[in-house]
Chain A
Amino acid sequence: MQGLLAWVPLLPLIGFLILVAIPLFHRSEPPQKFVACIGVGSVGLAALLTMIVAFTLFWKTPSELVNISLWQWMLVDNLQVGFNFHIDWLTIVMLLIITGVGFLIHLYSVGYMRDDMDFRRYFAYLNLFVCAMLILVLADNLVLLYLGWEGVGLCSYLLIGFWYKEPANGTAAQKAFIVTRIGDTAMAIGLFLLFYEFSTLNIQQLISVIDGQEVNTEIITLACLLLLGGAVGKSAQLPLQTWLPDAMAGPTPVSALIHAATMVTAGVYLIARMHPLYMLSEVAMNAVAFVGATTLLISGFSAIAQSDIKRVLAYSTISQIGYMFLALGVGAWSGAIFHLMTHAFFKALLFLSAGSVILSLHHEQNIFSMGGLYRKIPLTFICFTIGCACLAALPFTSGFYSKDHILLSAWEYHQGVNILWLAGILGALVTGVYSFRLLFLVFLGKEGTASTHCKDANTPVMSIPLCILAALALFGGLLAPPLQAVFGVRPDEDHSAWIEGVAIAMPLIGLAIAWRLFLHEQKSGEQRSPLMQFWFSGWGFDWLYGHLLVRPFKYLSQINHNDIIDSLYKGTAAVSRQMNALLSASQNGQVRWYLTSFAVGSILFLALLVAL
């Protein structure tokens, strides 16, 4: 039964290999049904396996641990890296999310991508992504985790630039790759530091080493901050958040799977996985919390100003991951993972519904040209409404349970009113505003320019995943994973009723504000107030980085266009060439000229003698 777990990442890999290898054996493109069977089937089987294992092994015993040792990967002196998996409940939760939500999104993709020429390439990339993501969460050591980490980064790059014929998509892909590379470099340095200090990169060994002995807190802090750098890059948190809104250039199901449900939450998983390390360092915990709090506010306000349906969702993703970081920073590990799970449900639901809208409107993404769609695509409308309610954390939706958990933890962490809790509460208000603004602008109100030729594009393969996800998003709050064995049990405290009240009231106030402001807004998205313009540009981070980093770099490259260092060598070459030209001009093949040179030479020589 345990051995089956090794098949979980292997199945998508096999799917990827088959899809990639088809042109070797078959000249023409295979039929879409075949590709869909391979692509969706492999992930579906993986999901089935995961569920079987989860229910048989883990359901009754939350403290169950499984270690699977596949093979030795590298062995250099005392660096021992095995291709080994470590499975506990945290891993199981991640596996269920990745394979389960991944399967639903694969299924949806069959409908969404039905008209695309590169159907096979799309599913190959998607399968490779699932494989890499599974390796990331299954890894029992940080090197293997890093393999998966880079693998998902690669797939993210490939899928953002999937429609590579549009240059802007390629630019967005490069931006995502380069910005995350900054974080990944920090993470790699963090790994080096950990290995240098503790001579192991196996996560369990690392934790036991730290538990067992007195450790230098400064080293731990530094290592935690470096790992946080990696997490920040991958999870699009401040200050490396700028890539995610641009990453919406990829197909919408990709945005749902990679840039909402799974890959961007890898940073949260990493920190949760390394939580014993972070608990030793107050500084690192506070850094995580403040990164999360600032990010959730900044991107929340940015989301209010966006006009592209997918960019709103992208900013809301950044904001929700900010909540997870806030939870991690206040030690609410299980709260963070719980929110990760519910977020995966409702954000995948939102993205897939948005995908249906986009497809129905023939690839129109501007929300100001939409409106009044609730009559034309009712199923999508219902799903989107459920998603928005969860996102805004209206009571008794899944988002409510997880976000409430986080806010309470933030309250407890400082035993009272504190800036993290206030940020979270304000964020809840902002979330309510932007999620219902989106809902109202797209589905209610007057019909926009694009709404008139709306045609419901939902097919059964798209509707079924939407319905399942809607159910999960609504009732996922009841599926709180039993993570006590992993993170330890926290004592329950009694809270004043008003804290709960505030947490419930905030989204409703946000809903009211959105109702007041946006339900009947004129479709004049192009004229914005300066504040809205500032938020629209994502608080000017792109402008700032452009002027701070990109422009000076381009300027330096411009200066160095002819290679300043090389000019020394080029100068030497030029001098030699000049000398050569001079001497070869004298070597003109004329015998009489040579003779004359002899004569002049001897005259000069004799003149020397005469002078002496």
Chain B
Amino acid sequence: MPIETAPGLEAGIMLSSILFCLGLAGLMMRRNVIFMLMCVEICTNAAALMFVVAGAHWGNVDGQVMFVFVVTLAAAEVAIALALVLQFYHRKHTVDIDQLNELRG
């Protein structure tokens, strides 16, 4: 069932790109782990948006199927990541990601 009034593929992709870049910028500039997690969510969401827009454009069901998987992945990832954040805070009593540099070469 085609919808005529859609804003166009390029617009969707650009929105997705903007959101992704914002998320990336946030990841790079924030030191708080919680904020970094949120930024990861932004990036994941931007990628999911891209799937849905492309799927809608081509009339393909795969786009939304991928969205479902992305949401699944995000849920699992957040669960693990939050557990790690809790442990990190428990051990170091801080949420500063820069303190977590024990793997330096």
Q: Do A and B bind each other?
A: yes
Interface residues of A (CB under 8 A from B): 583-592, 595-596, 599
Query: What is the CA–CA distance of A589 and B100 in the complex, to the nearest angstrom?
Result: 7
B105 with A595: CB separation less than 8 A: no
A587 with B101: CB separation less than 8 A: no
A599 with B97: CB separation less than 8 A: no
* B24 CB-CB contact with A under 8 Å: yes
B28 with A596: CB separation less than 8 A: yes
B24 and chain A: residue at smallest CB distance: A599
Residues 1-29 (chain B) with a chain A CB within 8 angstroms = 24, 27-29
Q: Closest Cβ of chain B: how far from A193's Cβ, in Å?
A: 62
B31 with A592: CB separation less than 8 A: yes
B28 with A587: CB separation less than 8 A: no
Given contacts A590-B98, A592-B31, A592-B97, contact A583 B24 (CB under 8 A): no
Instruction: For B36, list chain A residues within 8 Å (CB).
Output: 591
22 contacts between A and B (CB under 8 A): A585-B105, A586-B105, A587-B103, A587-B104, A587-B105, A588-B104, A588-B105, A589-B100, A589-B102, A589-B103, A589-B104, A590-B97, A590-B98, A590-B101, A590-B104, A591-B36, A592-B29, A592-B98, A595-B24, A596-B28, A599-B24, A599-B28
A592 and chain B: residue at smallest CB distance: B28
Given contacts A596-B28, A599-B24, A599-B28, contact A591 B100 (CB under 8 A): yes
Give the interface size class of chain B.
Answer: 10 to 19
Query: What is the CA–CA distance of A599 and B28 in the complex, to the nearest angstrom?
Result: 9
A584, A586, A588, A596: the one within 8 Å of B101 (CB):
A588
Instruction: For B103, list chain A residues within 8 Å (CB).
Output: 587, 589
Q: What number of residue pairs across chains A and B have CB atoms under 8 A from each other?
A: 36
Contact string against A for B residues 84-105, beta-carbon threshold 8 Å, 1 for contact and 0 otherwise: 0000000000000110111111
10 pairs of A and B residues whose beta carbons are closest in the complex: A589-B101, A587-B105, A589-B104, A584-B105, A589-B103, A588-B104, A595-B28, A591-B97, A595-B27, A590-B101
Q: Closest Cβ of chain B: how far from A603's Cβ, in Å?
A: 11
Interface residues of B (CB under 8 A from A): 24, 27-29, 31, 36, 97-98, 100-105
Query: What is the CA–CA distance of A588 and B104 in the complex, to the nearest angstrom?
Result: 4
B31 with A583: CB separation less than 8 A: no
Q: Closest Cβ of chain B: how far from A583's Cβ, in Å?
A: 7
Interface residues of chain A: helix, strand, loop or mixed (majority): helix
Instruction: For B105, list chain A residues within 8 Å (CB).
Output: 583-589
A592 with B104: CB separation less than 8 A: no
B27 and chain A: residue at smallest CB distance: A595
A598 and chain B: residue at smallest CB distance: B24
Q: Besides the contacts A588-B105, A592-B97, what 6 more A-B pairs have beta carbons closer than 8 Å?
A: A583-B105, A584-B104, A589-B104, A591-B97, A591-B100, A592-B31
Query: What is the CA–CA distance of A590 and B100 in the complex, to the nearest angstrom?
Result: 7
Q: Closest Cβ of chain B: how far from A288's Cβ, in Å?
A: 73
Q: Closest Cβ of chain A: how far from B45's Cβ, in Å?
A: 18
Query: What is the CA–CA distance of A596 and B24 in the complex, to the nearest angstrom?
Result: 9
Q: Closest Cβ of chain A: how far from B26's Cβ, in Å?
A: 10
Q: Closest Cβ of chain B: how far from A600's Cβ, in Å?
A: 10
Instruction: For B29, list chain A residues within 8 Å (CB).
Output: 592
Instruction: For B100, list chain A residues within 8 Å (CB).
Output: 589, 591
Instruction: For B102, list chain A residues within 8 Å (CB).
Output: 589
Query: What is the CA–CA distance of A363 and B24 in the complex, to the nearest angstrom?
Result: 93
Query: What is the CA–CA distance of A168 and B81 in the complex, to the nearest angstrom?
Result: 77
B29 and chain A: residue at smallest CB distance: A592
A591 and chain B: residue at smallest CB distance: B97
Instruction: For B97, list chain A residues within 8 Å (CB).
Output: 590-592
Q: Closest Cβ of chain B: how far from A121's Cβ, in Å?
A: 59
Query: What is the CA–CA distance of A592 and B25 in the complex, to the nearest angstrom?
Result: 10
Instruction: For B101, list chain A residues within 8 Å (CB).
Output: 588-590
Query: What is the CA–CA distance of A586 and B29 in the complex, to the nearest angstrom?
Result: 18
Q: Closest Cβ of chain A: how far from B22's Cβ, in Å?
A: 13
B33 and chain A: residue at smallest CB distance: A591
A602 and chain B: residue at smallest CB distance: B24
Instruction: For A599, list chain B residues within 8 Å (CB).
Output: 24, 28
Instruction: For B24, list chain A residues within 8 Å (CB).
Output: 595, 599
Query: What is the CA–CA distance of A595 and B27 in the complex, to the nearest angstrom?
Result: 8
